[in-house]
Amino acid sequence: MTNGKSRIIPGNDERQTVFVRNAESGDAQAAADLLRRSITELCAADHQNDPATLERWLRNKTPERFLEWLASPENRVFAAIAGPALAGLGILGISGEIRLCYVLPGMNGRGVGTALLRAMEAEAREMKIERISLESSFTAMGFYKRRGWRPAGEPKPGFGVTMRYPLEKILVQLPLDTERLPHVFYRAWRPAEEWTIDVVPAQGHRLEEYGAAQEGYKAVRLIDVAGRLRAELIWRLATGNNVEITELAVLEPADRRRGMGSALLYAGMDSIRSFRKGKQFEPCKVYAFCEAVNGPGRAFYERHGFAMAAQLPGFYRDCDAILYVREFE
Rg, Å, the chain Cα set: 21
Over 60: is that where the pLDDT of 192 sits? no
| Higher local confidence (pLDDT), 277 or 263 | 263
How many of the other CB atoms lie within 10 Å of CB of 230?
20
pLDDT of residue 151: 92
CA dihedral sign, ordered 18, 24, 25, 26? negative
Question: pLDDT category, 13, cuts 50, 70, 90?
Answer: very low
Q: What is the 3-state secondary structure (H, E, C) of the chain?
A: CHHHCEEEECCCCHHHCEEEEECCHHHHHHHHHHHHHHHHHHCHHHHCCCHHHHHHHHCCCCHHHHHHHHHCCCEEEEEEEECCEEEEEEEEECCCEEEEEEECCCCCCCCHHHHHHHHHHHHHHHCCCCEEEEEECCCCHHHHHCCCCEECCCCEECCCCCEEEEEEEECCCCCCCCCCCCCEEEEEEECCEEEEEEEEEHHHCCCCCCCHHHCCCEEEEEEECCCCEEEEEEEEECHHHCEEEEEEEECCHHHCCCCHHHHHHHHHHHHHHHHHHHHCCCCCEEEEEEECCCHHHHHHHHHCCCEEEEEECCCCCCCCEEEEEEECC
Q: Which residues pair with 285 in a beta bridge?
A: 327
Whether 4 has a pLDDT exceeding 90, the answer reads: no
pLDDT at site 230: 87
Q: Burial code of 296-310, b = ≥16 C-beta within 10 A, e = fewer?
A: ebbebbeebbbeeee
How far does the chain reach from its first CA to its final CA, in angstroms?
A: 21
Q: According to the model, what pLDDT value does residue 182 have?
A: 28
Query: Across 73-77, 228-232, 238-242, 260-264, which has the greatest mean pLDDT?
Result: 73-77
Share of the chain above pLDDT 70, in %: 80
Q: Which residue has the higher pLDDT, 263 or 293?
A: 293
What's the longest Cα–Cα distance across the chain? 70
Averaged confidence pLDDT in the chain: 80
Residue 38 has pLDDT above 80, yes or no: yes
At 68, is the pLDDT very low, low, confident or very high (cuts 50, 70, 90)? very high
Whole-number pLDDT of residue 85: 83
- The predicted model gives 83-97 an average pLDDT of 91
Ordered by where they begin, the domains of the chain are 2-170 (3.40.630.30), 184-327 (3.40.630.30)
pLDDT confidence band for 35 (50 / 70 / 90): very high
**pLDDT computed for residue 34 by the predictor:** 97
The CA angle 58-62-64, to the nearest 5 degrees, is 145
Among 229, 324, 221, which residue's Cα sits nearest to residue 268? 221
Place 179 in a pLDDT band, splitting at 50, 70 and 90. Answer: very low
Q: What is the pLDDT of residue 124?
A: 87
The answer to whether 57 touches 42, Cβ cutoff 8 Å, is no
Parallel/antiparallel/unpaired status of strands 6-9 and 184-190: parallel
Residue 20, strand partner residues: 7, 80
Highest mean pLDDT among 24-33, 103-112, 141-150: 24-33
Q: Which of 125, 74, 77, 123 is nearest to 101 (CA)?
A: 77
- In one-letter notation, the amino acid at residue 311 is Q
* Dist. CA 190–CA 202, nearest whole Å: 27
- Give the model confidence (pLDDT) of 113-165 as tens digits: 888 888 888 788 878 888 999 999 999 999 998 888 989 999 999 999 999 99
Could you give the CA distance from residue 308 to residue 54 in angstroms, rounded to a whole number? 47
User: Which pLDDT score is estimated for 42?
Assistant: 96
Mean pLDDT, residues 319-326 taken together: 91
The pTM of this model reads 0.57
- The answer to whether the CB of 291 falls within 8 A of the CB of 42 is no
Q: How confident is the model at residue 28 (pLDDT cuts 50, 70, 90)?
A: very high
Question: Does pLDDT of 76 surpass 90?
Answer: yes
pLDDT of residue 136: 96
